[in-house]
A and B are shown apart, each in its own frame.
Chain A
Amino acid sequence: VSTKAAGGATGLLSSGRLFALSLGKKRALKEEFERVAIPHLQSLYTSAFYLTRNSAAAEDLVQETYLRAYRFFHKFRPGTNCRAWLLTIQRRLFLNQYRQKKHEPEWVDLEKLDRDYEAMLAGEPNGRPSDPEAIFCLKSLGDEVASALGELPEDFRTAIVLVDIEGLTYDEAAEVMECPVGTIRSRLSRGRRMLQLALKDYAAKRNLNER
């Protein structure tokens, strides 16, 4: 009987010890999560801002992203790109919220884009040779670039944010956007053209105002 009682006591002790161990493990996990994930706060905020186009909504989205990432931290593979992993979670969260709000997808007229782009490359109507520097008056452009990027349709905007701001590779960007890498290529090509055309319009409007 005494052996049984002793065994039971040991059993109780070891479950208490297990509980304490699991608490210690959780604390270590949280610290590890903060160590690897928090340094990407600015990247997540930038991407969230370009997704939501609103700073308060962007901050909410970043917080939700961190919470979700923490819950699924056991799925993160150490040695892979943590920023890309966080950005994937963030975009999924955003698209789910977007779906709930039943937003209409945005229209893109690809033929018009090609026509406008060709016209820009062909130069001004007076036959002046065109040059990107001259057309966008880029030296004096500041916030207009961020505003123009914010105006692009979501998939083009996100491709530019991921590759041109976050510096992800095409393969990583394809993982974040959950699409084939060929789609990233074409979204970037088209997105950059849309951005150039928008900046050309900004510059033209400003020149008109200055005159």
Chain B
Amino acid sequence: MDCERYKETVAAHVDGALAAPEEAEVRAHLELCARCSRIYEWESKAAGILKEKLRHLSPGPGLEEAVLARLREASSGERTLFAPRIAWAAALALGVAGLLAAYLAMNRRGAPDLFADAVAKYHEASRAAPGEASPRAGPQVFGLERWGYAPVVTYVERVGAHRARVSLYRGANGEYLLAREIEGIQLVVPSGAVKRRLSGREFFAYSRDNVNVVAWKDGELACFLASAAAEEKLLELARRVPAGS
């Protein structure tokens, strides 16, 4: 364990939420590092005081009644749905809604959600990954082997009319990491994403289905890292990838 990793783990350590092996690792680090010991001491005091001050808030007196009334309404509305005549009308309405949704989905195809796509690609690539790392000749996307990631596979593909390069890596703990760059495509940021600024550069962090995605724009390239590893770890890697590489 190093100081940087402890910084990410301190809340879990203070809360006693670490598994035994990691807890032992943290203790060993704290015995050697006076700075992190001081951080631990401070954070436990601060967390204790904050937890005492952070409380549940009380809603207005009518909220429970309003919720119960809406549930009653919903429940009686639901019953009428089962009356045969209305069931036909409902089926017809559902059919129309389905057609409308399909039409809207067709029109939305112009701007693919590249973040969700990175998550899907990560699942697909890590499932299909061969057991052994087999580095290919030629450069890997973002050259992450410099930081201890073993290249597993690299390939070229197309995203619509755009050319994309993908490398799948494996980290020291056996976790997979997908690196992907797409040429000349607009980076549309979905609103579950959060912006982060590091070393004067802008990154977008996004999370879905237990996979973290960090994306950034590098000139004409839209760049993506996707992994089940912590968001901070991906941000740190993304920050290290030099712009224009």
A interface residues, Cβ below 8 angstroms from B: 19, 22-23, 26-27, 30, 33-34, 38, 41-43, 45-46, 49, 55, 58-59, 62-63, 66-67, 70-71, 95, 98-99, 102-111, 114, 121, 131-133, 136, 138, 141-142, 145-146, 149, 153-155, 160, 163-165, 169-170, 174, 177-180, 182-183, 185-189, 192, 195-196
Q: Chain B: which residue is nearest A159 at the CB level?
A: B11
Q: What is the interface size of chain B, counting residues whose CB is below 8 A from a CB of the partner?
A: 63
Q: Write out the residue numbers on chain A whose beta carbons fall within 8 Å of the beta carbon of B55.
A: 146, 165
Q: For the complex, what is the distance from the CA of A22 to the CA of B75, rounded to whole Å?
A: 12
* B28 in the interface (beta carbon within 8 A): no
Residue pair B195, A111 in contact (C-beta under 8 Å): no
Question: Quick one: given A55-B60, A63-B66, are A133 and B196 in contact (CB under 8 Å)?
Answer: no
Q: For the complex, what is the distance from the CA of A146 to the CA of B212, rounded to whole Å?
A: 29
Q: For the complex, what is the distance from the CA of A130 to the CA of B100, rounded to whole Å?
A: 62
Residue pair B9, A164 in contact (C-beta under 8 Å): no
Binary A-proximity of B172-198 (CB < 8 A = 1, otherwise 0): 000000000000000001111111111
> Quick one: which of B75-89 are within 8 Å of A by CB?
75, 78-79, 82
Q: Chain B: which residue is nearest A50 at the CB level?
A: B57
Residue pair B232, A42 in contact (C-beta under 8 Å): no
Binary A-proximity of B184-219 (CB < 8 A = 1, otherwise 0): 000001111111111100001001111110000000
Residue pair A59, B231 in contact (C-beta under 8 Å): no
Q: Write out the residue numbers on chain A whose beta carbons fall within 8 Å of the beta carbon of B209.
A: 178
Contact pick for A41, options B10, B11, B64, B212, CB 8 Å = B64
Known: A41-B64, A66-B67, A188-B11. 9 other contacts (CB 8 A): A45-B58, A70-B75, A105-B194, A107-B195, A121-B38, A132-B45, A132-B46, A164-B47, A177-B207
Q: For the complex, what is the distance from the CA of A108 to the CA of B138, rounded to whole Å?
A: 36
Contact pick for A105, options B193, B210, B228, CB 8 Å = B193
Q: Write out the residue numbers on chain A whose beta carbons fall within 8 Å of the beta carbon of B210.
A: 174, 178-180
Residue pair A30, B39 in contact (C-beta under 8 Å): no
At the interface, is chain A mostly helix, strand, loop or mixed? helix
Residue pair A192, B50 in contact (C-beta under 8 Å): yes
> Quick one: which of B116-168 are within 8 Å of A by CB?
none
* B109 in the interface (beta carbon within 8 A): no
Q: Write out the residue numbers on chain A whose beta carbons fall within 8 Å of the beta carbon of B8.
A: 182, 185-186, 189
Q: Write out the residue numbers on chain A whose beta carbons fall within 8 Å of the beta carbon of B57.
A: 42, 45-46, 49, 146
Residue pair A121, B71 in contact (C-beta under 8 Å): no
- B216 to nearest A CB, angstroms? 13
Q: For the complex, what is the distance from the CA of A111 to the CA of B239, rounded to whole Å?
A: 12
Q: Chain B: which residue is nearest A23 at the CB level?
A: B79
* B93 in the interface (beta carbon within 8 A): no
> Quick one: which of B1-42 are within 8 Å of A by CB?
7-12, 15, 17, 38-39, 42
B interface residues, Cβ below 8 angstroms from A: 7-12, 15, 17, 38-39, 42-43, 45-47, 49-51, 53-60, 63-64, 66-68, 70-71, 74-75, 78-79, 82, 189-199, 204, 207-212, 228-233, 235
Q: Can you list 15 A-B pairs, Cβ within 8 angstroms, ordered by A?
A: A41-B64, A45-B58, A63-B70, A111-B197, A170-B12, A177-B207, A178-B207, A180-B207, A180-B230, A183-B212, A183-B230, A185-B230, A187-B231, A188-B11, A192-B50
Residue pair A132, B49 in contact (C-beta under 8 Å): yes
Q: Write out the residue numbers on chain B whose beta carbons fall within 8 Å of the beta carbon of A34.
A: 68, 71
Residue pair B75, A26 in contact (C-beta under 8 Å): yes
Q: Chain B: which residue is nearest A143 at the CB level?
A: B53
Contact pick for B197, options A43, A108, A189, CB 8 Å = A108
Q: Chain B: which residue is nearest A108 at the CB level?
A: B196
Q: For the complex, what is the distance from the CA of A19 to the CA of B204, rounded to whole Å?
A: 52
Question: Quick one: given A179-B231, A189-B11, are A136 and B191 in contact (CB under 8 Å)?
Answer: no
Contact pick for A42, options B58, B78, B82, B228, CB 8 Å = B58
